[in-house]
Structure 1
Amino acid sequence: MFSSLNNSVIRQLDKLVLYTMNQRVPESLQTTYQDTPAFETVLAQTAVDLSQTPDYLLSAPGEHAIQLNTMLGPITCHVRVRPARDPHAPLLIYHHGFSEMPYYGSWQRLFPKNHPYPVHSVCIQAPYHDHWRAPFEQSMASVLHIYQTFAGSVRLIELMQNHFEANGAPYTILAGVSWGGITSLLYEGLFQRAATVIPMLSSPDLAQVLLDIAELFGRPIDISRRELKQMLDFSPYFERCSNDKVYPLLGEKDLFFRYENHQHHFANCQLNTISQGHISGFFHIAPLRQHLAHTLQHLVASHSPAESVHLPITPQPVG
């Protein structure tokens, strides 16, 4: 259905969802930013409570609760795990989009069980994503809460990478859509530990997304452009990433991450594009799945003898 929509409908879908999101962003986001600590300060005070996180459970199939201790209090998140048959398979960690409910919805569609990839597959749940109202009421309550959302996800990714690599995974792949793409790039910028990063319908610049939404609907912003960029443009972290490890995908008609405002970040990467918007691209999942499959094929082939690679390059859509 989404593959056959015309340009006007594709953009109207994005605009409709953006309008709803714009209405739900609390005013407190603009009025509480002055004393926000640096992101890395928030990250340093975010830790997994290992006393409540049995290590042996982390590689077991299914969903597992993870307790985080943070400067904003304890937060419970979840991870979903689908282990590979081979304990020495690589690890792929996927992060969902903002306000995606359930958080594993796009993960299940991108990595269907009837077309398994030769990887351990893990889906991370961001903080404040256990109820449909929570992402806006909590994650967007302040810049500090935005930082805490990213910091919590970063610690979960770190936890799962440490666990699987300690138990035989030779390397880790990071992938994410929208907000999850930012998170994946942020993690790699901080630690440079992934073999490949696959951000889809995303870029490191959240500030530009907020500025474009405000312009689209004529919403005044009390934070100056310079201040917003300083706080929520994570490009300095992205610049620490190796360009040859990053395989981005952008939507040419995306009104969230506008191609014209974000493609320059990936000028030195192998950028792929689709003729879709943000919402249509998100739900017309086949091109995203194909982008993932081709990237994984390239990576697995570079790490394995050619005869051992058995990757479903073009898995068929499901649902």
Structure 2
Amino acid sequence: MVKIEDIGEHQLLAIIRPYCDQEKIGDDGAILDVSLGKKLVITTDILVENVHFSDSTTPPHSIGYRATTANLSDLAAMGATPIALTIGLSLRKDVEISWIESLYQGIQQCLAKYNIKIVGGDITRSIVNTISITAVGEVSQNKAIYRHTAKVGDVILTTGFHGLAKAGLEILLYPEKYSHIDDETRKKVIFAHQYPQPRLDMIKHLKNLHPYPQITGMDSSDGLADAIIQICQMSNVGATINRQKLPIPLAIKKITDDETALNWLLYGGEDFELVLCMNVKVAQYLQLRLGKNCHIIGEINASSEIQLIDHENVYPKLLLNQRKTFQHF
């Protein structure tokens, strides 16, 4: 198999160039158009081998797709529409060219659905493979979503389902432990882990709100609990989460027990859903539009705690714990 060290930097760049916007690359920087009355939103995510991905759980096509989703999800969480991406790669010299091509094919597959182009980047040698993507988007100033604006009385709305990505990772890491799981369930959760979807579809629903309400939020890349905790900390509020309103997917129930399922749902991470705080009437409207793909799970209050409450009094009250969320250090 041909490796980077066999062809050198310039031939590697020639292989990557077709994946980029030919009208924007070739100079020291890319010049982008921004719509009148819009603000730029810029976000960067770095994925490091054996920290965020490994060959045992994530093929290169999936690595590219997931890395792209992570950035597009950040833009969605800000209420922004994506414009373009740049990609920085730090690679071992023994990486096979086919690995890089598959990586870019995964990136391109994710971008193609939203008509987003790669407009530049950088390449350097490293002792460990690292992918750094910077995404650029735009948002109307009065429609930007921040983490620090949650108010007492807001309800907490989440998109999609949490815990599926964690379930997929568990099956990939411990195949013998979960050998009894049926193929359909196995494929569903592995796909959720390897090919998460950025919730850019929410932008069009939010744009249609008139008058535009105050919305607070972030994505759940580091877990549902982490998102709620960060929003509450930055907004100086507390929250109650209704345990009965947390939707545990059937696929997870087939794989593990109730306690583990709840832990995966709250702390698993990498589902890349949106966690939004807003007026209850706005949330109910979005529920009607999105159906089962949208859930009101709790409410913001004036306390300093984030409580998980069981209204059926079967389980004791729990406090969400940031120590259980994903930590880099």
Scaled by the length of structure 1, the TM-score of the pair is: 0.26
Higher helix proportion: 1
Find the structure with the greater CA-based Rg.
Answer: 2
TM-score (norm 2): 0.25
Point out which structure has higher relative CO (alpha carbons under 8 A, 6+ apart). Answer: 2
More strand by share: 2
